[in-house]
Structure 1
Amino acid sequence: MEDTTRHPLAAARIALGMTMDDLVRGIRAAAARRGLRSGADVARVHKWQRGVRPNEESQIYIAEALGWPADIIRADDWPNWLPLSADGVVPLGPHSFVPALREALRTVMERRTFLTISGAALSALAADWATGPATALAPDRDSRPISEDFVELLENTAQSLADLPTEERQHTPALLDACLSTVTDRLAHGRYTPAVGLRLHTLAASLSQTIAWHRFDHGRHTHARQYWIAGLHNAHAAGNHDMGSGLLSDLAYQAAWQGDHTTATHILDHALTRARNPAARCLLQLRLARTLAAQGDKSEARAVLRALSAAEQHLSDAGDDRPTWCAWVSEADLSVDSGQALLDLGDTSRAHQLITEGEHLLPTTRAKTRGVFLAYRATSHLDQKEPEPAAAAATQSLLLARRIGAPRCAHLIDDLLPRFQPYAHVQGVSELLHLASA
């Protein structure tokens, strides 16, 4: 078997199931379509895979032969512009954590969004994570050692950015990306002990998760997926199964948000196999209940109620020893997500009660979540044919979303607007519609 780690061109070619001869023929065909002749042969491709940089014209032919648009090429950054997989998912492996991070960081460029990631690819990744062994940390490298003081600086920087008030966090993406780029570089080129490596992988996973949520909130779904996947690779490298399950549950949440509940269910089923912390399992069960209920299949009602019951028990069992990424899970989340699931099952009265209770329980520090919860409360009021309080909740949500820079919350309200149209004469509704159009 070929070593796919030696060069991105080899990895990209093999990911597409192409032999060296296939690639050569594709390159020659790309030149021929322009009435030109390429001198590419197997020997030359070998040279490219060993560090020789092809000229810009040849790079265009390579991209075309691999089925990619020419505008992803940055000739002066060969081979870093090459995608590392055929389906956008870097496979889990002993040294996959750096390629996955680099793929996420490169996907930030808009021209790479042509690499869509299918539900089948995400489900397969989740299955590999659930059944495969924990990945050993990378050994020391022959390069300059990384000091614990430097790692602590990176950790403190990331934590400081995460602790900012919600309205200020909207201005931090570039800083987070820079911090993650530094961690990626140190993982790739630094020399570190297993203890320092564990901290670097954990930090990479945490940063990737934070960045992914920012991208998701702004509707940049391909970017968000790549960051969550990169985080999963690093949680896997650190042997942190609870964090890995959380990153998978984020991918499932995104799939459900986009209406792909089958993929969401598959991912969550795999995530639950290795999650052990009660708070983590509570979050997974809540998301499972939500996605099962959203499918609209009344035969799943029992499964939904079982998941909600399990989530309630796990939250009761959760003490203060919680992973940072799910330390926020609370009675407020249990109430609102339970209410949303019951709303989808048709139990509107109980659903409205739970959603309202949960929104009131939410700490003031969780402004973005409050915006989402207010949108849910508006929905439940509309389901009970109560347009005036629905408009009030929707208006609060929209104003909050605009203040803190949370377009996902605003999108929830945009989706509700057609349901307000029949109530244009009701107090507060016309004001809401005007605000939304401004």
Structure 2
Amino acid sequence: MAGVEETARHALAVARTARGMTQDALAAGVQSAAHRRGLRSGTDKARIRKWERGVEPNAESQVYLAEALGWPADMVRADDWPNWLPLTGDGVIPLGDHSSVPALREALRTAMDRRTFFTISGATLSALAADWAAGPTSALAQARDGKPIGEDFVTFLEHTSQYLSGLATEQRQHTAALLDAHLSTVTGLLEHGRYSPALGLRLHTLAASLSQTVAWHRFDLGQHTQASQNWVAGLHNAHAARDHDRGAGLLGDLAYQAAWRGDHTTAAGILHHALTRAHNPAARCLLQLRLARTLAARGGRSERRNVLRALTAAEKHLADAGADRPAWCAWVSEADLAVDSGQALLDLGDTGRAHRLITEGDHLLPAARDKTRGVFLTYRAASHLDLKEPEPAAAAAAEALVLARRIGAPRCISLVNDLLPRFQAYGNAPGVPEFLQLAAA
């Protein structure tokens, strides 16, 4: 039985199963890959079985394996066997009692594959959200047979990760490589270390937190597949740590991404699942705000009642939220409530009230949240354009663009660029030519 269990856990076996292939079929695929090069391979079912039990194939065989599994040969990193292997057929590791490390490995693998091999479908993400909402909680991490992990080292990782994540916005653009290294280290500890259930709980919690932070870095850079994989990995680890609020928040992040890409049906479905298990008022406030935004964008006036219901719920939850908030949503404030409410009202056609709320929220935002300020400024510019006020729109858009370039916020720059066509009708309005010149620089 031990051999069967070992085989089932090996990345090659997981990847092969995800592609629906038997060991015989994979062996035949390896032989065909060699034949296309005018060579012969002696790979058979027994050789595949050995590889799946821990014997490392040589670099040439790894290339053949990639092609046999339907992937391009240039994704092979022979010095990192078997971590370069994709572990799924659709990009998402299913939730399970031992799914947290494979999900982290899939996120790390995707980060190395800059061509973003998988694009995760909305249906797959919706199914994952439904499983999380309905399924039992994963078992806590158990001790393993590897090298013991010291509590002081985990404390060091927790403190340094918190420090990196809490830096001022302008400095966080320089932390991506360090956060990636921390996440890789924590993944290795979970996979190979020996630790108590209590220490395992802390490691899973740290993995969830780091995955969430790394995901936002990827998302801000427009690396959507890598962002999705990190949010999914975070969800698995929050699930293992029994942290329902963080799990709901990670689903909320996936919903935000889906809405950003225009898939509001997927976003709304994920948010409804997330709300079933979120308890902290600040977490529920954030989820309700995102639900209001995506419902308004999806249905406009036809969703008016549902949008207003979500905004009312968000306002109540924010009023109920005290100092005891999860770190990942501790920043939710009156500023966010005002701006997100204003954005939703824009889609409902209530332009005047929307503009007042967006402007109010921008003024309420603390100086430490520069990236959010840049996004809010683009919203304010859009609301000025809706009111046919090109001069203040150009001023807000220019301020957002200068800020975004300074702090390294490409997602904010993208929002500004999306507004450019709307300024073309106001080419002679005060401030507009200067803004367009700035944008073209």
TM over 0.5: yes
Name the aligned partner's letter for residue 46 of structure 1: R
Confirm or deny that 1:324 pairs with 2:337: no
Residue 173 of structure 2 aligns with which residue?
Answer: 170
- Structure 2 contact 301–349 (Cα < 8 Å) conserved: no
Return the match for 1:36 from 28, 34, 39: 39
Confirm or deny that 1:147 pairs with 2:164: no
- Structure 2 contact 141–201 (Cα < 8 Å) conserved: no
Return the match for 1:268 from 261, 266, 271: 271
* Aligned counterparts of 2:8 and 2:202: Cα–Cα separation in 1: 24
Residue 236 of structure 1 aligns with which residue?
Answer: 239
* Aligned counterparts of 1:80 and 1:201: Cα–Cα separation in 2: 20
Pairwise mapping of residues 63-74 of structure 1 onto structure 2 (< 5 A)? 63-74=66-77
Return the match for 1:343 from 341, 346, 355: 346
Mean Cα deviation higher: 90-99 or 367-376 = 90-99
What's the TM-score, normalizing by structure 2? 0.96
* 1:116 Cα deviation after fit: 1.4
Return the match for 1:249 from 249, 252, 263: 252
Deviations along 1:375-413, one digit per CA (max 9) or x if unpaired, are: 000000000000000001001100000111111111100
Q: Secondary structure at the match of 1:164?
A: coil
Aligned residues: 438
Residue 434 of structure 2 aligns with which residue?
Answer: 431
Return the match for 1:383 from 374, 383, 386: 386
Mean Cα deviation higher: 46-55 or 255-264 = 46-55
Return the match for 1:59 from 58, 62, 86: 62
Name the aligned partner's letter for residue 130 of structure 2: A
Mean Cα deviation higher: 34-43 or 371-380 = 34-43
Task: Provide structure 1 residue ranges, at least 5 long, that are not aligned to the other structure.
Answer: none
- Structure 2 contact 282–325 (Cα < 8 Å) conserved: yes
Name the aligned partner's letter for residue 405 of structure 1: G
Name the aligned partner's letter for residue 56 of structure 1: A
Change (3 A) 1:207 1:261: same
Return the match for 1:201 from 187, 199, 204: 204
Confirm or deny that 1:9 pairs with 2:12: yes
Confirm or deny that 1:24 pairs with 2:16: no
Residue 195 of structure 2 aligns with which residue?
Answer: 192
Residue 285 of structure 1 aligns with which residue?
Answer: 288
Name the aligned partner's letter for residue 174 of structure 2: H
Confirm or deny that 1:362 pairs with 2:372: no
- Structure 1 contact 71–111 (Cα < 8 Å) conserved: no
Confirm or deny that 1:227 pairs with 2:233: no
* Aligned counterparts of 1:60 and 1:203: Cα–Cα separation in 2: 35
Residue 83 of structure 2 aligns with which residue?
Answer: 80
* Aligned counterparts of 2:395 and 2:18: Cα–Cα separation in 1: 52
Deviations along 1:162-207, one digit per CA (max 9) or x if unpaired, are: 2211101100001111111111111112222222111111111111
* 1:112 Cα deviation after fit: 5.1
- Structure 1 contact 146–186 (Cα < 8 Å) conserved: yes
Residue 117 of structure 2 aligns with which residue?
Answer: 114
Runs of 4+ residues over 4 Å off in structure 1:
1-5
* Aligned counterparts of 1:223 and 1:17: Cα–Cα separation in 2: 24
Q: Secondary structure at the match of 2:282?
A: helix
Name the aligned partner's letter for residue 65 of structure 1: A
Mean Cα deviation higher: 172-181 or 235-244 = 172-181
Mean Cα deviation higher: 383-392 or 57-66 = 57-66
Name the aligned partner's letter for residue 337 of structure 1: D
- Structure 2 contact 280–321 (Cα < 8 Å) conserved: yes
Deviations along 1:126-147, one digit per CA (max 9) or x if unpaired, are: 1111111111112112333222
Name the aligned partner's letter for residue 197 of structure 2: P
Confirm or deny that 1:413 pairs with 2:408: no
* Aligned counterparts of 2:12 and 2:65: Cα–Cα separation in 1: 9
Residue 129 of structure 2 aligns with which residue?
Answer: 126
Name the aligned partner's letter for residue 139 of structure 2: A
Q: Secondary structure at the match of 1:321?
A: coil
Mean Cα deviation higher: 189-198 or 325-334 = 189-198
Deviations along 1:65-116, one digit per CA (max 9) or x if unpaired, are: 2111111111232222111111111111111111111211221124451121
Q: Secondary structure at the match of 1:328?
A: coil
Q: Secondary structure at the match of 2:201?
A: helix
- Structure 1 contact 72–112 (Cα < 8 Å) conserved: no
* 1:297 Cα deviation after fit: 4.4
- Structure 2 contact 244–278 (Cα < 8 Å) conserved: yes
Residue 135 of structure 1 aligns with which residue?
Answer: 138
Task: Provide structure 2 residue ranges, at least 5 long, that are not aligned to the other structure.
Answer: none
* Aligned counterparts of 1:75 and 1:194: Cα–Cα separation in 2: 34
- Structure 1 contact 362–370 (Cα < 8 Å) conserved: yes
* Aligned counterparts of 1:248 and 1:92: Cα–Cα separation in 2: 13
Confirm or deny that 1:371 pairs with 2:380: no
* Aligned counterparts of 2:166 and 2:274: Cα–Cα separation in 1: 27
Identity of matched residues, %: 74
* Aligned counterparts of 1:13 and 1:401: Cα–Cα separation in 2: 44
Name the aligned partner's letter for residue 40 of structure 2: R
Residue 163 of structure 2 aligns with which residue?
Answer: 160
What's the TM-score, normalizing by structure 1? 0.97
- Structure 1 contact 72–111 (Cα < 8 Å) conserved: no
Q: Secondary structure at the match of 1:114?
A: coil
* Aligned counterparts of 2:193 and 2:38: Cα–Cα separation in 1: 47
* Aligned counterparts of 1:28 and 1:144: Cα–Cα separation in 2: 39
